[in-house]
Structure 1
Amino acid sequence: MGWLSFGQARRNRRQFSRRLHRKAEMSPVVVGLLLASALIHAIWNAIVRNGKDRFWSIAVICLVGAVAALPFALVLGPPARPSWPYLILSALLQIGYSLFLVRAYRDGELSSVYPIARGSAPLLVTLGAALVAGELPNTAALIGIVCVSSGILSLTLGSNRPDRHSAIAAFATGIFIASYMVVDGLGVRLSESAPSYAAWQAVAAGVLIPLSFVIIRRRAPGLPRGKEGALVVGAGILGTLGYCIAVWAMSRSAMGGVSAIRETSILFAALIGTFVLHEKLTVQKIIGALMVTIGVVYLAAA
């Protein structure tokens, strides 16, 4: 019996490892859905950046997302037990992401802050996936890393750069993005049901982030009203859908590639910042955003 138990334990460990390191080529459907997710993400960030109280906007967006995801979570049931710690850890990391994003947008423009925060994420996700899941970067990924790093450096230098505190907050935001995406990439591969994991992750984050608002502000976020309220509610539904797409994609494909394609939202954000929020478009911003975008394309092709 002892040998049988030992053999079974070894087989279980091998199965666990295979599920954790699962990787497949991206289909055109996955790429298309991720591009839609990127556009959605740029839109809801523009709504947050343009809001009067950005912390309130994020808290309500997450709460709306949780309410929208809850019926699906209850119907689908909980994901497999091994994925639960990852799900909770991801939700906790997203609190840090929200706080630093609010700080970055306090003084920084969307077209400057967003590329730093989002561009650093695929770089860090690729490195994190290499360390945690054994997804080693190839030559294309290394080229992508250099391009992303150069683009971010370009955006943080020069006369039109964001102030030091905004740039630091944006990069810290990227660290949290990379962290929760690697955690979700591992968790969804252990969940046995990507839709279930994504739905419950949205519920968990959608409860904890508004709770952090209550703890910090010592009051509940007010109900959304008027045009801004309608935009925030729409962003909550679309934002949840967008990240659920990304979580589902990570159950089928490499984490670095998923993150890279999703961060093409940088170009969408640059366009929205210029033509909707009327931010000044400079040559430096164009070069920086293009370098980051070229980098994420290389990372996606890796």
Structure 2
Amino acid sequence: MLLHGVYVLLLAKVYTLGDLSQAYPIMRGISPLLVPIFAVLILNEHLKFIGWVGIVSIVFGILLIGGLKRKALNQTMVYAIAVGVMITGYTLVDKYALHYVSAITLNEFSNVGNLLVLSWVALRSGAIRKEWQVNWPTIILGGALAPAGYILFLKALELMPVSQLAPMREIGTVFGTIFGVFLLKEPQGKSRIIASIFITAGIIVLAP
């Protein structure tokens, strides 16, 4: 799946531009809103009114984490929007593909897409050996956890509508907030905890 590879490239670009607190809510807030809309329109899924309420609660919580102040569109935001669109795209495509292949097979196809898109960039940078020498434990851990986590998501996607599951996937934002507030002692703890409550409430509403 080339969409996965393009997603990773765009994500890396966002990280290099900085201001993650501005970009992250945009990246993670777009797909919980767009996926249900397109799932209803294209995949003929049905979502009750209370489900839409849950989605709005999740999106609001994500935006609240990043701050609700209006900001002028800049390069970081443009790339963040592109990342959100890619997440929407590959989530919908993966849901459709699961009608024909297993979760593990689909994950391997995604890995091939990543390989095709990212190999040229990685080799061109000439930093693979240095990166491995410095961060090899993190690379091994990430290499194990990332596909395992996505296979679990795909297995769940086999069992329930993507219009429900895609927004529920943002529970990771809640855990990240808890980690940042209580372990890293990051600022704006109160507002982020409130935002996490909105996200959690939305997920509970969406739960089948």
Q: Which residue of 1 aligns with 2:121?
A: 213
One-letter amino acid matched to 1:195: I
1:119 is aligned to 2:29: yes
Say whether the 8 Å CA contact 2:23–2:76 is kept in structure 1: yes
One-letter amino acid matched to 2:161: A
CA distance in 1, matches of 2:12, 2:34: 21
CA distance in 2, matches of 1:280, 1:209: 37
Secondary structure, counterpart of 1:158 in structure 2:
coil
Deviates more, 1:255-264 or 1:162-171: 162-171
Secondary structure, counterpart of 2:68 in structure 1:
coil
- The alignment-based identity, stated in percent, is 26
Q: What is the TM-score with the length of structure 2 in the denominator? A: 0.80
Query: What is the aligned length?
Result: 204
- Shift in CA distance, 166/276, structure 1 to aligned 2, threshold 3 Å: farther
Say whether the 8 Å CA contact 2:2–2:114 is kept in structure 1: no
One-letter amino acid matched to 2:164: G
> Could you tell me how far 1:264 is from its partner in structure 2?
0.3
Query: Which consecutive residues of structure 1, in runs of 5 or more, have no partner in the other structure?
Result: 1-90
Say whether the 8 Å CA contact 2:39–2:45 is kept in structure 1: yes
Q: Which residue of 2 aligns with 1:195?
A: 104
Say whether the 8 Å CA contact 2:28–2:170 is kept in structure 1: yes
One-letter amino acid matched to 2:92: V
Say whether the 8 Å CA contact 1:95–1:208 is kept in structure 2: yes
Q: Which residue of 1 aligns with 2:136?
A: 229
**248, 255, 264: which one pairs with 2:171?**
264
One-letter amino acid matched to 1:185: K
- Shift in CA distance, 194/218, structure 1 to aligned 2, threshold 3 Å: closer
Q: Which residue of 2 aligns with 1:108?
A: 19
Say whether the 8 Å CA contact 2:5–2:118 is kept in structure 1: no
1:254 is aligned to 2:157: no
One-letter amino acid matched to 1:197: L
Say whether the 8 Å CA contact 2:157–2:165 is kept in structure 1: yes
Q: What is the TM-score with the length of structure 1 in the denominator? A: 0.58
**154, 174, 192: which one pairs with 1:285?**
192
CA distance in 1, matches of 2:192, 2:36: 24
Any residues of structure 2 matched to 1:142-161 within 5 Å, and which? 142-154=52-64, 155-158=66-69
